[in-house]
């Protein structure tokens, strides 16, 4: 079968690799009908040291079940399923607490041991606990929005929950990528009163307004902090969704926080320690978040997608074939595209 392999910064190839197959009795095999390129994939795309063996890419997918192992009981061939970016058994103590990203038998897609989903097919470990059967056909018009349940919509929701977004709250989203835009949807869905998007790409901030943002701040750094404080009477915002992962983004998040506020960070951190810990301490800020347990949120978010109350699939603005995936990486890296969908 064909799959996406990254060999180093800027070096993405589509190669023929051994067919995905069942290995453990708890596995399922799915044919990928939709996958995508994630903003987090751009970190290795820019920073990965050259590697001789390469790294299989992709951790978000919708597919059709081809086969299941002997110990899989909730799935059958022909089911259309969404695959979260982390696999989990659904039975351990952390899964029962809704923290599937800490599953004692879990892990993440996109490694040599568990190859990625930017491919024609993928093996899914712990299939009963990982895959969610969708009430939709493989070519359903809702597929773009359903695909976001594998990562970005659930991640935006996780950030909003960690930031304690809700009725009467003023919320700021740091980052105008797909997760940030889904964070706008999440904050609005939770009833937040005012939603500020911090971003400087006109197409993205325009979409953010359509999705529910009330204000746009295009400045960065101290200027952004000053602007947000101007918008909030000098006090800052109650809830901040940090959707980038750089130290500058975190500094901004803490700088615009109202005393007693909360920061939900879901951008993969590329810093050794959280900056501005002293002002965060003296302002009694809550800092939470992490890799989103999106499997825990699918059942809650799914009805809103099916009934048209939210449209997170609007973050996809380009569709590519598997052969075009390398150009999809380039387009996202150069900010020509917000998020790229892959149809193998």
Residue 147: pLDDT band with limits 50, 70, 90: very high
Residue 118: pLDDT band with limits 50, 70, 90: very high
Nearby residues of 62 by Cβ (< 8 Å), 6 or more positions away: 32, 33, 34, 35, 80, 81, 82, 83, 134, 138, 143, 146, 147, 150
Residue 140: pLDDT band with limits 50, 70, 90: confident
Q: What is the pLDDT of residue 259?
A: 98
State the DSSP code for 22. Answer: -
Q: What is the pLDDT of residue 241?
A: 98
Alpha-helical runs (H) found in the chain: 42-47, 93-96, 127-130, 143-147, 152-162, 178-189, 202-211, 221-231, 247-255, 277-282, 298-306, 325-333
**Strand boundaries in the chain, DSSP class E:** 2-8, 11-16, 28-37, 55-56, 61-68, 80-83, 86-87, 107-108, 121-124, 132-133, 170-174, 194-198, 215-217, 237-242, 257-265, 286-289, 316-320, 339-342
Q: What is the pLDDT of residue 111?
A: 87
SS3 318: strand
Over range 132-149, report the average pLDDT. Answer: 88
More confident residue, 52 or 219: 219
pLDDT at 148 over 60: yes
Q: What is the pLDDT of residue 106?
A: 97
Whether this prediction's pTM lies above 0.75 is answered by yes
Q: What is the pLDDT of residue 139?
A: 65
Q: What is the pLDDT of residue 113?
A: 87
pLDDT at 265 over 60: yes
């Amino acid at each position: 079968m064909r799959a996406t392999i990254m060999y180093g910064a800027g070096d993405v190839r589509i190669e023929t690799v051994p067919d995905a197959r069942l290995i453990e009795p708890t596995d399922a095999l799915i044919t990928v009908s939709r996958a995508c390129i994630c903003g987090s994939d751009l970190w290795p795309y820019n920073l990965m040291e050259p590697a001789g063996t390469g790294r299989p890419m992709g951790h978000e997918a919708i597919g059709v079940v081809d086969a299941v192992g002997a110990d899989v009981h909730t799935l059958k061939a022909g089911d259309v399923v969404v695959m979260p970016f982390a696999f989990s058994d659904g039975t351990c103590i952390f899964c029962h607490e809704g923290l599937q990203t800490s599953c004692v038998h879990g892990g993440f897609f996109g490694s040599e041991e568990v190859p990625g989903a930017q491919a024609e097919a993928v093996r899914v470990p712990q299939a009963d606990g990982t895959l969610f059967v969708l009430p939709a056909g493989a070519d359903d018009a809702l597929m773009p929005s359903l695909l976001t349940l594998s990562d970005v919509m659930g991640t935006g929701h996780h950030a909003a929950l960690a930031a304690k977004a809700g009725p009467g709250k003023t919320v700021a989203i740091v980052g105008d990528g797909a997760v940030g835009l889904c964070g706008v949807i999440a904050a609005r869905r939770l009833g937040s009163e005012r939603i500020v998007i911090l971003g400087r790409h006109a197409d993205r901030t325009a979409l953010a307004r359509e999705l529910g943002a009330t204000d746009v701040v295009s400045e960065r750094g101290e200027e952004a902090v000053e602007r947000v404080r101007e918008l909030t009477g000098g006090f800052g915002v109650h809830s901040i969704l940090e959707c980038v992962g750089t130290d500058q983004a975190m500094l901004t998040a803490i700088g615009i926080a109202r005393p007693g506020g909360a920061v939900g960070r879901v951008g993969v951190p590329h810093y050794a320690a959280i900056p501005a810990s002293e002002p965060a301490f003296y302002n009694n800020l809550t800092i939470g978040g992490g890799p989103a347990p999106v499997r825990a949120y699918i059942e809650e978010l799914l009805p809103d997608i099916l009934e048209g109350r939210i449209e997170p699939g609007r973050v996809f603005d380009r569709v590519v074939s598997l052969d075009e995936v390398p150009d999809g990486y380039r387009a996202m890296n150069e900010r020509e595209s917000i998020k790229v969908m892959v149809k193998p």
